[in-house]
Structure 1
C-alpha cells in the first residue's frame, strides 16, 4: 500500500481493493478489473460541491475514454446508502464506489492535510502538515461560479446553497472526520500498474479543488 503522504507514482503497482458499488449491485475490485485500463478518481464526500461537479464531468468524459478502451471509476467518501440516494437523482454513467473511511484513498497515497497545533513551532510542509492560518488565508474559485476567490470552506457553503444541497447527519459526520482529505486521479493499465497520477493542490492551498481537465485526462489516457 502507498504511504499516506506519498501518492503512488507511474510505474508502481496499484494496491488491491474491493469496494461496494453505488450505482450497481455488488463490489468492484482490482482483480476484477485486471486486463482493462481504468481511470480512478478519489474524492471527498458528497458534502464537497467541487467533487460532485468533477464526478459529473468525468461522466461526460466517459464515452471518449471508453472509446479508447479505458473504464472510469469514482470513489466517493460517503456511506453506501447515502450515496445511492443522492446518485439516484443525479445519475452518471461512470462506476461509483463507496469508501466512507478513505481506506482506498490512503492505499493509493492520496494525502490528507494534518493541521499543526496552534502556536506550534513546527514548519508547515504542505500538504502533509499545514497551519490553520495558511488554510484560512487561501482563496479559491476553480469553477468560476463564485463572484470572487473565496476561503475554501466558505466556498463550499456558497455552492452547496446554490445547488440546494443540504448536509444531513451522515454528510456532517464524514465532513468532521475527513474534511482535509485531498482528491486524486490515477490511470492504471491493464496489468495493474499506475501509468499517470494527478493529486489535488500539491503546490498549495490556493489550488484546492482544481482537478485535471478533460484534455489532460484524454491525453494521459491516449498514451496508454
Structure 2
C-alpha cells in the first residue's frame, strides 16, 4: 500500500522519545512533518535528525512540528535522542504497521543482496490531515531545507 499527495494521512499512535506519544489525532488542526528513517544512530540518520533539529526554530516559527519514525526499539531511540539532544519526538513503530501504511517499507538492495527495509521518506501533512507533499528515497544533504521551503509555502496558503 502506498499513499499519494492529497490522500488522507494514515492514522497512527506510537510511543515516542522522552515518554511522549504521537498520534495523527494529536496533530488535528496543525500541520506537521512525519519522516521515516532506517536506523537510529547510523551516519545518514544522524545527519538527517540533526538537520531537522537545526530547522526546528524556523519550522516552529511557522507552526510546523517534526516527528521521526523508525522500527527501532524505544531503548535505542531514547539513546539516540539523548546523544544528539533531539527536541522533537522520535517514534518507535516496531511492528512496522505505520511504516507500511505510508509505503516506506520497501525492497532494498546492497551488494547484490535484496532485503526489506525503511525507505528514507518524508511526508508533509497539512492541518486537515491530508498529505500535502511526499519525498521518497531521500538524500540527506539539503533535504531539511527543501522540507522547510515546502512547509513555509503550506503555512502561507
Is TM (by shorter chain) over 0.5?
yes
Indicate yes or no: 2:127 matched with 1:219. Answer: no
Indicate yes or no: 2:46 matched with 1:52. Answer: yes
Deviations 1:183-204 (A, max 9, x none): 110000111000000001xxxx
Is there any run of 5+ residues in structure 1 with no aligned partner, and where? Answer: 115-131, 138-152, 154-177, 201-208
- Following superposition, which runs of at least 4 residues in structure 1 exceed 4 angstroms of deviation? none
Q: TM-score, normalised by structure 1?
A: 0.62
The one of 12, 27, 35 aligned to 2:29: 35
Alignment correspondent of 1:80? 74
State how far apart, in whole Å, the 1-side matches of 2:41 and 2:107 are.
17
State how far apart, in whole Å, the 2-side matches of 1:26 and 1:47 are.
20
The one of 101, 111, 116 aligned to 2:95: 101
After TM superposition, the structure 1 = structure 2 runs for residues 62-81 of structure 1, keeping only pairs within 5 Å, are 62-81=56-75
Indicate yes or no: 2:130 matched with 1:193. Answer: yes
State how far apart, in whole Å, the 2-side matches of 1:37 and 1:90 are.
25
The one of 13, 21, 28 aligned to 2:16: 21
Is there any run of 5+ residues in structure 2 with no aligned partner, and where? Answer: none
Over alpha carbons, which structure has the higher Rg? 1
SS across alignment from 1:113:
strand
Q: TM-score, normalised by structure 2?
A: 0.86
Q: Tell me how large the CA RMSD over aligned residues is.
A: 2.2
